Amino acid sequence: MRPGSQDHHTRPASRDHARGRAVPRPGLPVHPRRAFSLVELVVVTVIVGVLAAIAAPRFAGASNRYRSDAAARRIVADLSAVQERAMAASAPRGVTFTLNSAQYLVDSGPASRASDSTVDLSREPYRAVVRAVTFAGGRVVFDGFGVPAASGSVTVACGRWSATVTVDGASRPASTGAVLTGVP
């Protein structure tokens, strides 16, 4: 090392405080500090806003499709459980749906009204409504062998999406899945 020179590795970094810039060191490349201009920030903000405006309706539609499909799966599960309880008890059991309501009654038979339960589809994660019921009196009854007294269907809806659950004597309750309705 020459007399009067300093090793650039041991020299402390100094700043030109009046200008707020780093003082260049001999032998090291100088990198100017970069920032985004106001125009660049505004352009990015506008692009993000446009993308959000496009995505929001699609997200809402996907959410309603999920909710109606989930409500239909819940009804299928409840109908299957009632069918199994009817076979286990060898006695009729049923489910009563109320048209344009978000609730339905799962009953445990004539002797056990205390154990009946009301399912509320207006709450999370469903937020759905029963839109159509084709069972006589809105009630599906399974006999002691698990066979429904009559075939029919129930349709639940959330927004413009609906899902239909069908019951027939030949198979277990099943959902057709969510279908978009009311498209202009």
pLDDT level of residue 54 (50, 70, 90 thresholds): confident
**Domains annotated on the chain, with CATH:** 38-180 (3.55.40.10)
Reduce the DSSP state of residue 69 to 3 states and report it: helix
pLDDT level of residue 182 (50, 70, 90 thresholds): very low
Q: In whole numbers, what is the pLDDT of the chain averaged over residues?
A: 80
* Nearest C-alpha neighbor of 160 from the set 73, 62, 52, 55: 62
- Give the distance, in angstroms, between the CA of residue 60 and the centroid of all CA atoms in the same chain: 9
How many residues comprise the chain? 184
Measured CA to CA, the distance from residue 106 to residue 140 in angstroms comes to: 10
Q: Is there a contact between 46 and 96 (Cβ–Cβ < 8 Å)?
A: no
Q: What is the pLDDT of residue 112?
A: 55
Q: Is the peptide bond before 125 cis (omega within 30 degrees of 0)?
A: yes
